[in-house]
Structure 1
C-alpha cells in the first residue's frame, strides 16, 4: 500500500493528513500557532513557523497512521490565499510573512484603483475590487515602505509556494492560488503584466506558474527526505488554494452542484464554465484546477461564529450541563433546537456580527434579533440562530443562481456545521433543496490528495477520484409542509436590511 501526504496550511494551524491509495484517511495531526498583530491592520507570522509546523505535523501524522514513511509516494499542500513571503539571495525569508488578514496597503489600493476601477479589475482578475488586503497592493506597499528589502528579494512567494520551495528548492506556484493576488489575469491564464507595470512591480520576482496537480521536477531535497524518512522517489505535486481544494474533495468540479461550508464563516461555492465577468454584483471568482473552469465563491463572515458568540456570552448553564453529561455543548444545542418548533416562535436572527460581504457588501451591517416577546425563551434564540444561517445560505444560493442564470438543485454540506443533523435539516427546509453530507469531512486535505493521486496515475481525473473517495452518506430532504412557514419568515428576514442599512 502506498500513501499520499498532505498539508492544509490555514490561518492559525497546519493540518497534516495521510491518505491511502483508496483516498481513505489513515492518520492526521494538527499543529497550531499564534499570529502577530503588533500594529492596527498588520498581521504577520515568521515563515519558519509554517515550516516547523509542517515538519512536526508530518512526523505526527505518519506515526498515527502507523506506516513506514518510505511508502509515501507524494506530498502536496493546500493553503490560504494571499499570504506572501519575500525570499532573499541566500534562500532565507527577508521578513515575516504578511498574512492574508493584513490590511496595511489601503493607500496603495486606492491609488491603483484610480487606474483599475472595480468593474475593470473584476473583469480581468475575478476579484471584486482592489483593497488593502489584495496582495498586489501589499507588494506595492513593500516596495514603497521597505525599498531595500524589495530590491534584495529574489522571489515573492505565496504560502504554498514557500512550502514547495522548502521541499524542493524550486520557485514555483500554481494558478488556482495565484488568482488570489490581483496580478493573475483570468483570460490570459498568466501573470497580468499591465497591473504589474502600473504598480512598478517586477514580474521576474514572481515564481514560475504551474498547473494544479503538476509534479514539481527534482522531487524532495535530500535533507528533507532524511528528516522525514522519505524514499528517494517521493514526488512533490502542486495543490490548489484551500477553497479550491475543498471543492475538489467534495466533487465540486463540474457545473450543477454547490457546496456550502459552515465554519466560522459561510462559504457557498459553485463550479462554472462561463462566468459573467461584467455582472455588477462582482461575486468573487477563482480559477479552478484547470483552465476554462471557475469557482464562484460567496463569503458571509459570520456563521458558526454567531453561534459561538451566543454560547460564550449567554450559555454558561448549557456549557456546564454539557460538561456534566460528557458531551459537546454544540451537541446539546442540537437537542434543544430539534425540540423547538420551526420558526422560533416568530423570532428572526440576523447574523452579521462583523459586516456583510455577500450579499450586501456592507462592512457596517450588524446582528439583530427581531420579534422577541415576553414568550421568547432561550431555545427560541438558539433556533433562530440556526435558521438565520439557513436564510443566509438561501440568500447566497439565490445570488449565485441570479448572477449565473442557473438553477441549483443540490447542495453538499461541508465544515463543522455539516456534522449537525438538525442544522442540515433546517437548511434543507429553508432552501427547499436536498442537503447532502459526505463520508470524508476533511475535504480540503482530500482535495490535495486527489490532485496528487491523479498526477501519479492512480485515478484518471479529479471527478472520478472524488466520486470514489467521498461518497454521499446522508441526504436531508426538504419538508414541503414547512415551505410556506419558512418562505414567510425569509421574506421578513430579507426585508430587514433595506429598512435598517442607513442605521448601521
Structure 2
C-alpha cells in the first residue's frame, strides 16, 4: 500500500522514518524542515501473516528476518522514488521491543545462515513472546538475593519475560545449536541499523532506548549486568557480556551512513545518514510532541505509556513496577519513563476471533454457497463486525451492565509486571450480550490505564496531560471517550497516522544536521493534534465505582494465580529465611 503527494520544489531535504510494528513495516518520507509527509508505504510480513514459527498455546511468537528485509526494501524503495535520491539526507528505524535475535560475529542473523533457516530459536523473539517466564522469575529472585547490585532497580524493580536477558537465557537453555552458533545477540532496532550501515559489530552504536529499558544497562554499574551475575543466572551466558557492548547512544546520534549495498537496494546514496535505532513507542512519543510530564499512550496491539521528566527534578527517585527509567531514551537530556499494557488491540482482536469462529469453521462446510461466495461473505461479515459491535457497545448503559473484565489475556506489563496472569470476565448472566462483553473489555483496558497513571502520581511523577496516538487512538472514538471518562482527564489525539515512523524521521533529521536537537525537530516537524476528548461528568462517578470493582477483581485473580502457578509468576518473592 502506498500514498503520495507532490513534493514542494522548495524542500531540498527529506528524511525517511521506518517503523517495524508487530504485523507490518511502514516507511514515511517527510520534509526534513517541516515534517510534511510526501509519501508512505506499508508492507505486511508474509511469513508472520501465516503465523509460521509461532505457537500461541506456548506463547511463542517468532519473526523471520527475511520478513523484515523484504519489508525494508519494498517500503523504502516505494517512498524514495518520489524525490531525487540525493535530497534524502537521513533515515532511522524503530521497532517493537524487546525483540532480540542471535547473530554471528559479523552481525548476520542466524536464521539467514544455512542450517538455521527454519529454526524459531534462531529468529527474532517478538516482544509478546512469553516463553521465558521461568527465566524472568529467576532473574527477579537472583537480583534480590545474590548479594550484589540489584540490576532490576532502574527497570521498575521487576524484570519481565518480554525482555532481553530472559529471552536469551530461555533460548540458550532450550537450543544447544543456537547457543553455540550465537556469537552475540541484538535488539531488532540495532540489527536493522547495522544491516543498513554495514559497520563492524564490535564498534556498532547500540540503542540507549533498548539497552536501558530492557537489558538492565545503566551507567551506575558500567553498563550491562556483571559477568558474575549473568553466569549465576545461566552458565551458558558466560562470555556473552564482552561480546555485546559497553556504551549506548541516543536516537539522535549518527550510527553511520548507508552501505553501498543498501544504498543500491533502496535507491538512495551512500551519503544518507542512518541514525541510532529506537523502540516504536519512544519514537511515537517524540512525534506526539511529548514534553515534560506528558503521558503519551502509543495504542496498538499493546499500549506503551511514555513519560519524560527533567533529570534534576526526578533526582534519585525510582518508580517501582514500571518498564524502566532511562536517561535520554526519548529526548536526550531528559529522563524517559515507560509503562504499558500487554494487550489492547490484541484483546479486542481476540474477542472478534471468538465471535468469528462460526464464520471460519462452519461456513466452509456449507453446501449452499460456492467458495467464492463463502470468502466474500466471511470478508464482509468480518469488516462489519467491529463497526457494529462498537456501535452496540457504545449504546450500552454502563450503569445497567454489571459485566466486568480483566485485560490480562497477555499478562500484565504494568504496574508490577506479571506475565503469568490471565484475563477474566465476571458477572455473566443469561441476559449478557456480546456488546456488553465488548464494552467490559474496553472498560478494562481503560481501568488498567488508570492504574498506571495512579502509580506514576503516587511515586511523585505528575501527569499533566495525556496524549493518545496509534491505530486504536485514531480509529476508536468509543475507546478514547471511555478512557477520558475513566481517567477524568482530557485526552488529545495526535494527528499523524504513522507517529512512530514520523518520530524516527525526526531523529533522522537531527542526526543529519537539519535540526540542532530533538525538541527543535518536534516543533518544526510536528503535525499537531486531530481532536480532544473531554470527560463526560455524568459518567465519571460510575466509572470510579466500577474501577474499584476492577481493582478488587484483579486482586482476587492475582492471588489465585499465585496460589496455583507461583513457580512461574514473575513477581514471586524468594523466601530469604
User: TM-score of the superposition, structure 1-length normalised?
Assistant: 0.85
Q: Which residue is 1:458 aligned to?
A: 514
Residue 306 (structure 1) aligned to one of 315, 327, 347: 347
Q: Which residue is 1:389 aligned to?
A: 445
Q: Which residue is 1:296 aligned to?
A: 337
Rounded Cα–Cα distance in structure 2 between residues aligned with 1:495 and 1:183 = 32
Structure-2 change in CA distance of 1:105 and 1:359 (3 Å): closer
**Structure 1, residues 105-159: CA drift from partner, whole Å, max 9, x if none?**
6666666556422891222x42544465543355456777777876776653322
The answer (yes or no) to whether the contact 2:301–2:343 under 8 Å persists in 1 is yes
Query: What does 1:6-405 correspond to in 2, within 5 Å?
Result: 6-21=17-32, 22-25=34-37, 26-32=39-45, 33-34=47-48, 35-37=52-54, 43-63=61-81, 66-89=82-105, 92-95=108-111, 96-100=122-126, 101-102=128-129, 115-117=142-144, 120-123=150-153, 125-126=154-155, 128-130=157-159, 133-139=162-168, 155-170=184-199, 171=201, 172=204, 173-187=206-220, 190-193=223-226, 195=229, 200-207=238-245, 209-217=248-256, 219-252=257-290, 254-272=291-309, 273=311, 274=314, 278=318, 280-281=320-321, 283-287=323-327, 288-290=329-331, 293-314=334-355, 328-359=384-415, 361-363=417-419, 365-373=421-429, 376-403=432-459, 405=460
Structure-2 change in CA distance of 1:102 and 1:228 (3 Å): same
The answer (yes or no) to whether the contact 1:29–1:60 under 8 Å persists in 2 is no
The answer (yes or no) to whether the contact 1:337–1:383 under 8 Å persists in 2 is yes
The answer (yes or no) to whether the contact 1:87–1:157 under 8 Å persists in 2 is yes
Q: Which residue is 2:369 aligned to?
A: none
**Structure 1, residues 69-103: CA drift from partner, whole Å, max 9, x if none?**
34321121112233334443566444533414555
Q: Secondary structure at the match of 2:553?
A: helix
The answer (yes or no) to whether the contact 1:350–1:369 under 8 Å persists in 2 is yes
* Structure 1 residue 361: Cα displacement: 4.2
Q: Greater shift after overlay, 482-491 or 424-433? A: 482-491
Structure-2 change in CA distance of 1:463 and 1:322 (3 Å): farther
Q: Which residue is 2:571 aligned to?
A: none
Rounded Cα–Cα distance in structure 2 between residues aligned with 1:314 and 1:444 = 31
Rounded Cα–Cα distance in structure 1 between residues aligned with 2:322 and 2:533 = 31
Structure-2 change in CA distance of 1:138 and 1:454 (3 Å): same
**Structure 1, residues 186-244: CA drift from partner, whole Å, max 9, x if none?**
54673444545765324442256333211234x21122222222134211111312222
Runs of at least 5 residues in structure 1 that lack an aligned partner in the other structure: none
Structure scoring higher RCO (CA < 8 A, sep ≥ 6) equals 2
Rounded Cα–Cα distance in structure 1 between residues aligned with 2:399 and 2:315 = 36
Rounded Cα–Cα distance in structure 2 between residues aligned with 1:132 and 1:363 = 7
The answer (yes or no) to whether the contact 1:344–1:384 under 8 Å persists in 2 is no
Residue 413 (structure 1) aligned to one of 447, 464, 468: 468
Rounded Cα–Cα distance in structure 2 between residues aligned with 1:322 and 1:47 = 32
* Structure 1 residue 57: Cα displacement: 2.2
The answer (yes or no) to whether the contact 1:18–1:28 under 8 Å persists in 2 is no
Root-mean-square deviation (CA, aligned residues, Å) is 3.6
Rounded Cα–Cα distance in structure 2 between residues aligned with 1:407 and 1:89 = 45
The answer (yes or no) to whether the contact 1:245–1:444 under 8 Å persists in 2 is yes
Rounded Cα–Cα distance in structure 2 between residues aligned with 1:325 and 1:499 = 37
Rounded Cα–Cα distance in structure 2 between residues aligned with 1:488 and 1:446 = 39
Rounded Cα–Cα distance in structure 2 between residues aligned with 1:483 and 1:131 = 33
Rounded Cα–Cα distance in structure 1 between residues aligned with 2:167 and 2:380 = 49
* Structure 1 residue 8: Cα displacement: 1.6
Q: Secondary structure at the match of 2:497?
A: coil
Asked whether 1:446 is paired with 2:502, we answer: yes
Q: Greater shift after overlay, 227-236 or 323-332? A: 323-332
| Length, aligned pairs only | 498
**Structure 1, residues 46-66: CA drift from partner, whole Å, max 9, x if none?**
434422321122123335xx3
Rounded Cα–Cα distance in structure 2 between residues aligned with 1:312 and 1:144 = 34
Runs of at least 5 residues in structure 2 that lack an aligned partner in the other structure: 1-10, 112-121, 361-375, 562-577
Rounded Cα–Cα distance in structure 2 between residues aligned with 1:367 and 1:165 = 39
Q: Secondary structure at the match of 1:281?
A: coil
Q: Secondary structure at the match of 2:514?
A: coil
